[in-house]
């Protein structure tokens, strides 16, 4: 069993990198990857806690500009000490902070005031994201749970939603590759593209150096999994997969098994490791 898409408290998860590693080892997982949003600060702790128990792949999930849907790129085997990566991620986090300020302003105008201090109770000193704001809203009694917070206020198109700075797709791919990583298109269904449009879009990303697609994902329908797997075969890409586990923020979603019947073939890790070896050599 493997899970190549995990989040920690260093971005918007509820478990520390060490706690994630302990849970992964207890399952046990053969391989796992920490892919926090726009930050790599948890990788060293995660890998140290995983040492001798399972293969811990360094990773990141980068926000990328796209419309009408949402585009994220996963970077596997990245060097967390790479200067260019550090600078780009710092700018992305600054954009996230600016966005958070605007969200709190909008919530105040909606008579749902939430302070930065209240949000920090849930994020600590780590990257603040909308899930932390949602948890603060629950604590304030404005909503019954974080899902309601997103559905009514924080989700795209809702009254408190604000966009933020993102990289262009080709720049994000180049950044991941410059840091020694394997760029992978994350959860393709969020792009909101028809199958023909997605194929054209993937072809463009491949031209810029895309190396894989996250084929196995708990929210993918069987037909989507087949579609994405066919794209990896057409464009000679690796198929990856993971749960997008955030801990207690979504208690129904479990590491390794998603909503219960999900799994990522172990062969995915072997193929990813082989692709990394071929591109880094």
Percent of the chain clearing pLDDT 70 (strictly above):
98
Task: Report residue 129's pLDDT band, with 50, 70 and 90 as the boundaries.
Answer: confident
Q: Give residue-wise pLDDT tens across range 9-19.
A: 888 888 999 99
pLDDT for the residue numbered 148: 92
The count of domains in the chain is 1
Average the pLDDT over 148-170 and give the result.
87
**C-alpha dihedral, 151 to 227 to 272 to 219, nearest 10°:** 20
User: Does residue 243 lie in a domain region?
Assistant: yes
Judge whether 232 and 213 are in contact, CB under 8 Å: yes
What is the per-residue pLDDT for 124? 63
Upstream peptide bond of 4 is cis (omega within 30 degrees of 0): no
Report residue 98's pLDDT band, with 50, 70 and 90 as the boundaries.
Answer: confident
Q: Is residue 229 part of a domain?
A: yes
Contact criterion met (CB below 8 Å) for 58 and 76:
yes
In a domain, 265, yes or no: yes
pTM of the model: 0.82
Cβ contact 95:166 at 8 Å: yes
* pLDDT of amino acid 125: 57
Mean pLDDT, residues 183-210 taken together: 94
Residue 144 forms part of a structural domain:
no
Confidence of residue 24 (pLDDT cuts 50, 70, 90): very high
Asked if 143 and 133 count as a contact pair (C-beta separation under 8 A), the reply is no
| Integer Cα distance of 122 and 134 in angstroms | 10
Question: Is 242 contained in some domain?
Answer: yes
pLDDT at 43: 96
Bridge partners of 213?
185, 239
Continuous H helices in 110-168: 116-123, 130-139, 146-149
In a domain, 122, yes or no: no
pLDDT reported for residue 281: 58
Decide if 99 is inside a domain: no
CATH of the domain at 222: 3.20.20.140
Residue 64: phi and psi, rounded to 5, are -130, 145
In the chain, DSSP finds a helix count (H) and a strand count (E) of: 10, 7
- Tell me the residue length of the chain: 281
Question: What is the pLDDT confidence band of residue 142, given thresholds at 50, 70 and 90?
Answer: very high
The reported pLDDT for the residue numbered 238 is 97
Please tell me what DSSP assigns to residue 250: S
pLDDT tens per residue across span 112-126:
999 988 888 877 656
- For residues 42 and 86, what is the distance between their CA atoms, to the nearest angstrom? 13
Judging by beta carbons within 10 Å of its beta carbon (0-12, 13-18, 19+), is residue 11 exposed, middle or buried? buried
Q: Are 134 and 146 in contact (CB under 8 A)?
A: yes
Q: Coil, strand or helix: which one is 43?
A: helix
What pLDDT score does 65 carry?
A: 79
Residue 72's nearest CA partner among 187, 213, 175 is 187
Q: How far apart are CA 26 and CA 97, in angstroms?
A: 35
Span 32-43, mean pLDDT?
94
Structural domain contains residue 75:
yes
Judged against a pLDDT cut of 70, whether residue 165 lies above it is answered with yes
Weakest mean pLDDT among 59-73, 134-148, 170-184: 59-73
Instruction: For residue 210, give the nearest of 181, 176, 238, 173 by alpha carbon.
Output: 173
The H or E element spanning position 182 is strand 182-185
- Domain of residue 78, residue span: 2-89+177-280
Least trusted range by pLDDT, from 124-138, 167-181, 238-252: 124-138
Pairing of strands 31-34, 182-185: unpaired
């Amino acid at each position: 069993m493997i899970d190549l898409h995990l989040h920690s408290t260093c971005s918007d998860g509820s478990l520390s990198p060490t706690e994630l590693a302990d849970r992964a080892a207890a399952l046990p997982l053969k391989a796992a990857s920490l892919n926090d949003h726009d930050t790599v600060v948890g990788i060293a702790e995660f890998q140290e806690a995983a040492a001798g128990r399972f293969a811990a792949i360094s990773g990141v999930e980068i926000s990328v500009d796209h419309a009408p849907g949402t585009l994220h790129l996963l970077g596997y085997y990245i060097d967390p000490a790479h200067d260019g990566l550090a600078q780009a991620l710092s700018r992305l986090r600054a954009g996230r902070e600016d966005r958070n300020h605007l969200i709190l302003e909008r919530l105040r105008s909606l008579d749902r005031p939430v302070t930065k201090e209240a949000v920090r109770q849930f994020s600590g000193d780590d990257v603040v994201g909308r899930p932390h704001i949602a948890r603060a809203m629950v604590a304030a009694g404005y909503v019954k749970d974080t899902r309601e917070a997103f559905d009514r206020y924080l989700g795209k198109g809702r009254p408190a939603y604000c966009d933020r700075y993102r990289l262009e797709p080709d720049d994000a791919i180049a950044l991941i590759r410059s840091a020694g990583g394997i760029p992978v298109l994350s959860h393709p269904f969020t792009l909101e593209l028809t199958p023909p449009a997605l194929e054209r879009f993937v072809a463009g990303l491949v031209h810029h150096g895309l190396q894989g697609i996250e084929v196995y994902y708990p929210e993918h329908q069987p037909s989507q999994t087949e579609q994405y797997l066919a794209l990896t075969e057409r464009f000679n890409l690796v198929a990856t997969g993971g749960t997008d586990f955030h801990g207690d923020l979504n208690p129904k979603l479990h590491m390794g098994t998603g909503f219960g019947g999900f799994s990522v073939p172990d062969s995915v890790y072997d193929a990813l490791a082989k692709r990394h070896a071929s591109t880094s050599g």
